[in-house]
Chains A and B, each alone.
Chain A
């Protein structure tokens, strides 16, 4: 039966492992990363900056515009659970009411979602009235 190699024989292997784990990654990182920003800006549809959204029809949203921009997804999801499971229905703030002011899903919702590459699937099932 062959015995295991003694410590001096294994030493070079350990040295290579330590080098591969600690030294190699730092060398690779320091050599520079590919420029992601340049490739994003070269996308044809967003070359002129962020998307321009269609103006809403009504005078004001049910919440501040700034707040809606940041929180509409949590707002909708929270309401979704409350409505389905506890039967809470706030008729003036239902999902169908959004379409009274933001009349085009394509020119409003889809613009930003496409820009930030978010793909919520709400409207696979829910109807966005036209």
Chain B
């Protein structure tokens, strides 16, 4: 594609107007470009404010199942969980119990990817750890390697649910799967389904964004507030941060 001088100047003016309005704020949400690619300039991460998470709320887990067509088999030992709610209690009752969602931590040093014999699990340039289900042989090494129990094996054949989301394929029996940070939404410039649902439920306990962008909400919060990751001692550099844990 070639552009003449006038077009280039015009585009520059539009870009300048967008910057002048407010950083990170555009008047109309632009549709995603026709072609996009994961880039190392971004590092996607999540921050969960545990103090805002309600113990009886399951908006995030329900939204995840709906968005990603994750079925419930009704058997607790075989069910697939991409995100699950945990209740942490102090045995001596000195501290109040806290409720928090746990999902794949999209580690910078993912042990699941290191043990995968077929390189089905990999880390994308933008830091999202994914399972290429076309390559997964279902050996479950990754399930043993993950310290967060974030992975599930698909034990049964699944069907496309009534009113399911056509943008996310279902899975074959015998592959391992996990949270993808809703990669299909992130690539379109949207937020993951759980983060959206938490906002709609009025809690706004979860935020998602680019750590490499110093002006993003998540980067600012992580700079200003004390946050933790689960099992920091393992050195995996997880990218799901918790506040108030």
- Contacting pair B164 A127 (CB below 8 A): yes
Chain B 151-173, CB-CB to A under 8 Å as 1, else 0, gives 00000000010001011011110
Residue A92, interface by CB 8 Å: yes
**How far, in angstroms, from A96 to B167 measured CA to CA in the complex?**
8
**With A85-B124, A90-B34 in contact, is A125–B132 under 8 Å at CB?**
no
Q: Given contacts A85-B122, A125-B170, A129-B166, is CB(A92)–CB(B132) below 8 Å?
A: no
Total interface residues on B, CB under 8 Å, equals 25
Write the nearest CB–CB distance from A102 to chain B, whole angstroms.
15
Q: What residues of A have a CB within 8 angstroms of the CB of B183 in the complex?
A: 87
Q: Which residues of A contact B187 (CB under 8 A)?
A: 87, 89
Does the CB pair B169–A125 fall under 8 Å?
Answer: yes
Q: Kindly state whether residue A116 has any CB partner on chain B within 8 Å.
A: no
Partner of A86, one of B37, B166, B167, B170: B37
Chain B residues positioned under 8 Å from A125 (CB to CB): 133, 169-172
User: A87 contacts which of B38, B132, B164 (Cβ < 8 Å)?
Assistant: B38
Among B11-40, those with CB < 8 Å from A are 32-38
B35 near A84 with CB under 8 A, answer no
- Are the CB atoms of B134 and A84 closer together than 8 Å? yes
Interchain CA distance A92-B34 in the complex, whole Å: 6
The answer for the CA separation of A125 and B36 in the assembled complex, in Å, is: 24
Q: A127–B166 contact, CB under 8 A?
A: yes
Q: 0/1 per residue, A59-89, Cβ < 8 Å to B?
A: 0000000000000000000001100111111
Q: Nearest Cβ distance between residue B25 and chain A, in whole angstroms?
A: 24
Task: Tell me if B126 counts as interface (CB < 8 A to partner A).
Answer: yes
Question: A126: CB under 8 A from chain B?
Answer: yes
Q: What separation, in Å, do the CA atoms of A4 and B170 have in the docked complex? A: 67
- In the complex, how many angstroms separate the beta carbon of A62 from the nearest chain B beta carbon? 12
A126 to B36, alpha carbons, bound, how many Å? Answer: 21
Residue numbers in A under 8 Å from B35 (CB-CB): 88-91
Whether A87 contacts B36 by the Cβ 8 Å rule is yes
Question: In the assembly, what is the distance between CA of A85 and CA of B125, in Å?
Answer: 9
In the assembled complex, which residues on chain B have CB atoms less than 8 Å from the CB atom of A92?
34
Q: Mark B183-205, 1 if CB is under 8 A from A, else 0.
A: 10001000000000000000000
* Complex interface: chain A residues within 8 A of B124 (CB): 85-87
> Which residues of chain A have C-beta atoms less than 8 A from B171's C-beta?
125
Q: Is B60 an interface residue (CB 8 A)?
A: no
B130 at interface, CB cutoff 8 A: yes
Give Cα A94–Cα B36 distance, bound, in whole angstroms: 12
Determine whether A37 belongs to the interface, using a CB cutoff of 8 Å to chain B: no
B68-102, CB < 8 A from A: none
User: What is the bound-complex CA distance between A96 and B36, given in angstroms?
Assistant: 17
Report the nearest B residue to A94, measured CB to CB.
B167
Distance between B55 CB and nearest chain A CB, rounded to angstroms: 35
Q: Report the separation of the CA atoms of residues A90 and B125 in the bound assembly, to the nearest whole angstrom.
A: 18
Q: What are 9 A-B interface contacts by the 8 Å CB criterion?
A: A80-B134, A84-B134, A86-B38, A88-B35, A90-B35, A91-B32, A91-B33, A126-B169, A127-B170
Enumerate chain B interface residues (CB-CB to A < 8 A).
Answer: 32-38, 122, 124-126, 130, 132-134, 160, 164, 166-167, 169-172, 183, 187
19 additional A-B pairs beyond A90-B35, A91-B32, beta carbons within 8 Å, are: A80-B134, A81-B134, A84-B132, A85-B122, A85-B130, A86-B124, A87-B36, A87-B125, A87-B183, A88-B36, A88-B37, A89-B35, A89-B36, A89-B187, A91-B33, A121-B172, A124-B172, A125-B169, A129-B166
